[in-house]
Structure 1
Amino acid sequence: MRHLLAVAARLAAGLAVLAASACSAPTPPRADAGPSATPTGPATLPAPAGPHPVGTTVLYPTDTSRPDPWDLDAGTRQLKVTLWYPTERRDGRRAPYMTPTESELLLKGGRIASAPYDTLSKTRTNAVKDAAPSGRKLPLVVLSPGFTKPVSTLTSLAEDLAGRGYVVAGIDHTHESHATTLSDGRVAECLACDSDTDPGFGARVVQGRAADVSFVLDLLASEWKHSGLIDHSRIAMAGQSIGGAAALATMVKDPRVRAGIDMDGTTYARIPKNGFTRPFMFVGTPQHVPGGRDTSWDRDWKLLTGWKRWLTLSGAEHQSFTDLPLLAGSLGIRPATGVLPAARGAELTRTYVAAFLDQHLKSQRQPLLEGPSSRHPEVAFCPATCATP
């Protein structure tokens, strides 16, 4: 296992991996990707597909029961949790994508210098800041981002799910991304990046994230003033890269999470040898085929004894399941040849994630998940219809 810092500005369908996760097999650099154009101006995230307007707010909880795993001087674990949810309010100030400081640290961490460092803070979102939630007893989806990335890089997916009638809790796992702004305005940087070559690093990260998620579920059930908005019997978790690995690790530890999705993340959790029956879906790049470079999915597939799917997207790269390709133009990054276009990658991610959640949290059967679709030819169902090395 190794942490691959981006050596060239490269995004799937536009922007390269800003800093590829230590928890997924790194994609080889593409010679045709790199800064080559004038930045296009602020990016605008695609509108949610669901019927509901979307609101968002931020919580800053502190877990006093355990120390921070990365900051040895901190006796408690501070987190940032961004919530997206349905609202009746259509007008109002749109929430910021990230702060100028967060944008600067993320771009510097990824060695992206093709646009002003505050560029990502100007990204236009769809959610109304601090709008009052609407609805009651809605299913909850927890989102966990890739290593070095803030949860804001999953905003497009989060807004779409909220528009479809879900409450979404995105967790910034402090000191595991280039920048996390805390309640007092301090910006916590990536202390975990100093340990990413240590033996057992991936397992350590996912276990810590599982603890973060369990704490947040406790918080949302008992202390959040809108806890009645959530049906706490219908909870799922999804994540990208090590966030996807953390979804499986969390499910093994916390039975409240009924279903999970791993988007292109090498897994580290120890699944019981007698099998794991809760629904789970792998969605990844062509590297994640049976017998491919990353064998963790082969190992875990055999132990998933309940409903399961293993999908690969042709042309996808590691960041295709995040917002980063959508932000390429604003950073003046030229798309790499042969990579899944940014808008299509976002559409496929939203479509298949929502189908999985609708089936397992809303009990709505989804024929889309039963096999290949002529409307989505990029999606292969493994092991039956995906190519092997």
Structure 2
Amino acid sequence: MNTTSNRKRRISAVAILSLAASVAATGTGLAATTPPSTVHATAVTAAAAPPRSFQGTLPAPTGPYAAGEDVIHLTDESRPDPWVPSSGPRQLTITMVYPAVPGTGTPAPYMTLGEAAGILQHRKMPASSGITPQNLAGVTTHAFDGARPQRGKHPLVVLSAAAENPRMMLTSLATELASHGYVVALVGHTYEDTGETLADGQTPPCAICDHPETLDFDSVAASRARDVSFVIDQLTHGNGAWRLAHLIDKHEIGMAGHSLGGAATAATMVADPRVGAGVDMDGTFFPVPTPGQINRPFLMLGRADGHTPGGGGDDVVWKQAWDALGGYKKWLTVAGADHFSFADQDVLQEQAGVPSASPLSPERGVEITREYVTAFFDQTLKGSDSPLLDGPSPNNPEVLFQQ
């Protein structure tokens, strides 16, 4: 097994949000004890009109339902914020995406202006990209505020994004799952990404992004697991902390995560038996589970050039995790994918005029991710047979079944 320092270097090399390939990351440091200065939309101004205008659109969901959306704010009074204790109890922002009646509600914004400004500041986006807080916040998501919910109860799936990525970078997966009958909770892990707008309207920037090589990622994954368990508590106890909590089937809960969010998925399943199925999308395991810790369904979905058995690097960790997993499990790789093929980044980057370096088109990466993750939860949470998971498909020649 590789040393902890090598594992840190691996994840820091792949976990960085990249709307432009040459963007440098900034942050305030893990040891911050006072809240970093807050990002406001007014902090980003254009010195001159950009030569092009960015108009982002995420892939439309394919299921029979529309995707409704609510944003909720929760505070865990039982613990201080792990990264900025002086800010008080842990505050979280969660986007709830749910099966809705088509033709109801109004188009939901991709993010707040403060969140959009945080991304542009953190990534030092050049004016030539044409991306402004306004048009980034206005990316078409195919989700609808105030949409009328479908009747009945639906499995809950929690999503956790990559290191430094705000929760919105898994929006296309969230809307797809909602369109197929899932309630989805996109959890924003405060102070761990470019900015999550909190209940008071403030959008604090990342407090742990400055020196990723110094981070204890086992601790970060464990903290995310506590975030997720708290969110599940709030959504499933009593009437729930969300106005539509009655939609949730409390007995069918899954989780999926990208990169560090994948590590958090495994960590959550170890700590919380309520999570009955998990998906790791191209993430190293922090820590690697041991035999007997996860005996519930688990899907490992990653790049072919990074997660093919025997390929070295992260594959050593994936093989250890694979051997430790009990119950139903699948190990799939995607030929031509890069680390961000499993989230929204590559799609938006291409629309901003920055071609993807991956042989796999960004749209195809999202399509494969949504299709296989949905099939996995259909089979494990809904009990619906998903032949897609039985073996290679001529419709998806890029997807390789490793185990």
TM bin (shorter chain): 0.7 to 0.9
Aligned to 1:105: 118
Aligned to 2:170: 154
Aligned to 1:374: 394
Aligned to 1:133: 149
Deviates more, 1:142-151 or 1:100-109: 100-109
TM-score when normalising by structure 2: 0.84
Q: 1:310 to 1:101 in 2, by over 3 A?
A: same
Aligned to 1:84: 97
CA contact (8 A) 1:151 1:170 kept: yes
Shift of 1:195: 5.2
Matched, 1:176 2:188: no
Q: 1:50 to 1:43 in 2, by over 3 A?
A: same
Matched, 1:304 2:320: no
The DSSP-based 3-state class of the residue aligned with 1:352 is helix
The DSSP-based 3-state class of the residue aligned with 2:88 is coil
Alpha-carbon distance in structure 1 between the residues aligned to 2:347 and 2:290: 38
The DSSP-based 3-state class of the residue aligned with 1:207 is helix
Q: 1:149 to 1:343 in 2, by over 3 A?
A: same
Alpha-carbon distance in structure 1 between the residues aligned to 2:18 and 2:166: 18
Residues 179-228 of structure 1 show CA distances to partners (whole Å, capped at 9, x for unaligned) of 111011101110011452225x1101110000000000010012333222
CA contact (8 A) 1:39 1:329 kept: no
Alpha-carbon distance in structure 2 between the residues aligned to 1:301 and 1:154: 25
Which one of the candidate residues 55, 69, 73 is aligned to 2:82?
69
**Identity over the aligned pairs, expressed in percent?**
45
Alpha-carbon distance in structure 1 between the residues aligned to 2:296 and 2:277: 6
Matched, 1:345 2:365: yes
Alpha-carbon distance in structure 2 between the residues aligned to 1:245 and 1:371: 25
Residues 265-306 of structure 1 show CA distances to partners (whole Å, capped at 9, x for unaligned) of 010135243463100011011211113221211111111121
Aligned to 1:209: 224
* Equivalent pairs, count: 361
Shift of 1:237: 0.1
CA contact (8 A) 1:240 1:265 kept: yes
Q: 1:285 to 1:5 in 2, by over 3 A?
A: closer
Shift of 1:343: 1.3
Matched, 1:284 2:302: yes
Deviates more, 1:186-195 or 1:43-52: 186-195
CA contact (8 A) 2:54 2:130 kept: no
Alpha-carbon distance in structure 2 between the residues aligned to 1:72 and 1:91: 41
**Matched letter for residue 316 of structure 1:** A
User: Runs (4+) of structure 1 moved beyond 6 Å?
Assistant: 17-20
Aligned to 2:139: 123
CA contact (8 A) 2:270 2:293 kept: no
CA contact (8 A) 1:89 1:128 kept: no
Structure with a larger share of its residues in helix: 2
CA contact (8 A) 1:62 1:79 kept: yes
CA contact (8 A) 1:358 1:366 kept: yes
Alpha-carbon distance in structure 1 between the residues aligned to 2:24 and 2:282: 15
CA RMSD, 1 decimal: 2.2
CA contact (8 A) 1:17 1:318 kept: no
Q: 1:41 to 1:189 in 2, by over 3 A?
A: closer
The DSSP-based 3-state class of the residue aligned with 1:237 is strand
TM-score when normalising by structure 1: 0.87
CA contact (8 A) 2:347 2:363 kept: yes
Alpha-carbon distance in structure 2 between the residues aligned to 1:230 and 1:274: 28
Shift of 1:335: 3.0
Alpha-carbon distance in structure 2 between the residues aligned to 1:6 and 1:80: 21
CA contact (8 A) 1:138 1:166 kept: yes
**Matched letter for residue 271 of structure 1:** P
Residues 288-327 of structure 1 show CA distances to partners (whole Å, capped at 9, x for unaligned) of 1113221211111111121111111011011100111221
Structure showing greater relative contact order (alpha-carbon pairs closer than 8 Å, 6 or more residues apart): 1
Q: 1:334 to 1:38 in 2, by over 3 A?
A: farther
Alpha-carbon distance in structure 2 between the residues aligned to 1:190 and 1:370: 41
Aligned to 1:30: none
What are the within-5 Å matches in structure 2 for residues 202-281 of structure 1? 202-222=217-237, 223-224=240-241, 225-274=243-292, 276-281=294-299
Shift of 1:86: 1.1
Shift of 1:103: 1.9
Shift of 1:38: 6.6
Alpha-carbon distance in structure 2 between the residues aligned to 1:241 and 1:16: 18
The DSSP-based 3-state class of the residue aligned with 2:270 is helix
CA contact (8 A) 2:332 2:401 kept: yes
**Matched letter for residue 145 of structure 2:** K
**Matched letter for residue 227 of structure 2:** D
Alpha-carbon distance in structure 1 between the residues aligned to 2:143 and 2:336: 30
CA contact (8 A) 2:15 2:259 kept: no
